[in-house]
Amino acid sequence: MRAPDPPRGLVSPSCRAREVLDRVGDKWSLYVIHLLGGGTRRFRDLRRIIDGISQRMLTVTLRGLERDGLITRTVHPTVPPRVDYALTPMGRTLLDTVRSLVEWADEHLPDIDAARAAYDRRSALLSASLTGHPEPDDLHDPADDARGLNQPQETGPFGP
């Protein structure tokens, strides 16, 4: 059986655009682009603002964005040296898209949190039923019933 063709406009795995999408869509690049959209920043400011990023990972991310022409790196001849990062004109063309993604994520966080909690409860219930353990009371949320999240799943010969 042949897999269906991807919808038009989507990037195939062999397409070179995938390289760029991998860069701008990685874990940290969106944050960096978003922050630099507000203006030039120093390395230590980016490191302080981006929670959870290591110094090494920030360096790797900045170098990749610089290599792709999305940011510039300016070293000022001071002691100690000061390094500033800014978006290039091409990098600025990503700002509307990045802002839209960030706004979407902020807007949908409660829905995503609820979906994750419901999924985790369903997974725990399934695991409990497969191991023969009774359902823990704290895993069942009646509000999920009202939203239709605890509906029985149809199963076929190969699973759900």
Provide the CATH number for the domain around residue 45: 1.10.10.10
Domain count, the chain: 2
List the strands of the sheet with 71-76, edge to edge: 41-42, 82-87, 71-76
Q: Is 108 helix (H, G, I), strand (E, B) or coil?
A: helix
Q: Are residues 87 and 39 in the same domain?
A: yes
Confidence band (pLDDT; 50, 70, 90) for 159? very low
Q: Are residues 89 and 125 in the same domain?
A: no
Q: Is 101 helix (H, G, I), strand (E, B) or coil?
A: helix
76 lies in a domain? yes
CB-based contacts of 101, cutoff 8 Å, min separation 6: 30
Mean pLDDT of 25-52: 93
Task: Give per-residue pLDDT as tens, 92-144.
Answer: 999 999 989 889 999 999 999 999 999 999 999 988 888 876 655 555 566 66
Q: Are residues 21 and 87 in the same domain?
A: yes
- Taking CA atoms, 39 is separated from 31, 34, 35, 119, 132, in Å, by 13, 10, 7, 40, 57
Element containing residue 86 per DSSP (H, E) = strand 82-87
User: Tokens 């800014």 belong to which residue?
Assistant: 86
Q: pTM surpassing 0.95?
A: no
Residue 40: give the domain boundaries: 17-93
Confidence band (pLDDT; 50, 70, 90) for 8? low
Residue 102: what residue type? V
Distance CA 141, CA 149 (A): 10
